[in-house]
Structure 1
Amino acid sequence: MIKYIAIDDEEHAHEVIRNFCKKIPYLDLIEEFSDPLEAVSFIDSYNDKIDLVFLDIEMPRLSGIDFLKAYSFPNVIMVTAYSNFALDSYQYGVVDYLLKPFSFDRFSMAINKVRERQEKNKAISKKKQEEESHILYLKTTRKKYIKLTHAEIKYIRGAENYAVIYTTTATIIASERLKELEQLLPSDSFHRVHRSFIINLDHFDSLDGNSIQLKATDGCLPVGATYRQKFLDYLHKGMQTPVEKKPAE
């Protein structure tokens, strides 16, 4: 749902917007205002619940442009009889500029722009969340905090009270223990293969007996007896493919 408010000093404008919005099922009216100053007090309390604002420009006491200068909204559609304010309004990130009178088709185009912007913002937010989920924050033995992406980590070697992280660019000594890092890292990408080693499977090349060969001649890691079968089960699972059923004769 797109929750909206309308701010316009003309009742006819409210009626047009209201009727057009009723034809679009995902638009939900929150409130209408004929006085922009009344809208100000409402917005101070409900700003985070407003997805869209229909805003007139020429209004008594406070113009639409001054309103834009004072408040920021995810989406604003200007609704006005004056074309000379279009350039100024776009400087404040408005989605569209509707000149009165406007048709339902033109109104729908503006709403589609709002939806496109929302979808784009959702995609950006999702990508950011995914990127954050693939980041590991570590405290080094020098009490310095560093940020690593999962892709940078090749493997980790555990010691008594710390861990050595081998990345694509450096070797880092972290104050976390191997068990703690194992719990922080996703099990579908990182596997404990030895009591002293965790491998990033993106850097796994082959398994020969009790030795794992890393990609790009980065050496070998031992496979502990306790962890061998679980690791083999994972590899076999990854190799399995669905069997195609033959049609009955």
Structure 2
Amino acid sequence: MINCIIVDDEAHAIEVLTHYIKSVDQLNLIASFTKPTEAITFLGGQHIDLIFLDIHMPTLSGLEFIQTVRHKNYNFILTTAYREFASNGFDLDVIDYLVKPIPFPRFLQAITKVQKTINPMPQQGQNESMDADYFIVKTASKSKMVKIYVKDIDYIEGMKNYVAFHHNGIRTLALTTMKDIEEKLPEKNFMRIQKSFIIALNKIVAISGNQVILKDISSEILIGETYKKNFLDTLKKQMINPGT
């Protein structure tokens, strides 16, 4: 889990980022601040991994904020309506720079960079992720573990206390989280299309309106509004005639 805070003097900007952050399981919003000095005081007693930071603020600018706390080695994503400040931000080794209004797919790209920085992929010879042919999950049944082949997964459903793997006509409840699964699944083969569903891209048969139809699955899966554009942009790369 990546603990984060927002520092922005605009309430609307905080509302947008709060909505985006709550749409991503890997992110945990601890607090938000309209006054940068209050955020600096707050940081003194908290474990924070990531700071969403507006550059253009009264009293203390975002760049001055970074200079003040840089000895703590926080990760920063800068947010601002002023594109000309970007080079100054990258001089301070921030992870990314988002120009307002921030599209959700662009936000997700920045979070991917954060994940690679905070949780880098293992080197050759270290433990592999689910890029292997199969993996083992601990099920809801006491002391029972199940082997699931990645190629057999149709979709994964997040539930209250479990994750349900729908694979090869079987539904397996596992004691894990959507966060852990999404981090380990091969990105080229799987995509989250709403908060509670990850689908196998190679199992898509059709898309009808806001619904995805998967091979051998009787029920359709609704595409979440915040994930829709990123999902359709990915599919468009495979279209013979994507149009405009």
TM-score of the superposition, structure 2-length normalised?
0.48
| Greater percentage in helix | 1
Higher-Rg structure is: 1
Q: TM-score, normalised by structure 1?
A: 0.47
Larger RCO: 1 or 2 (CA < 8 Å, sep 6+): 2
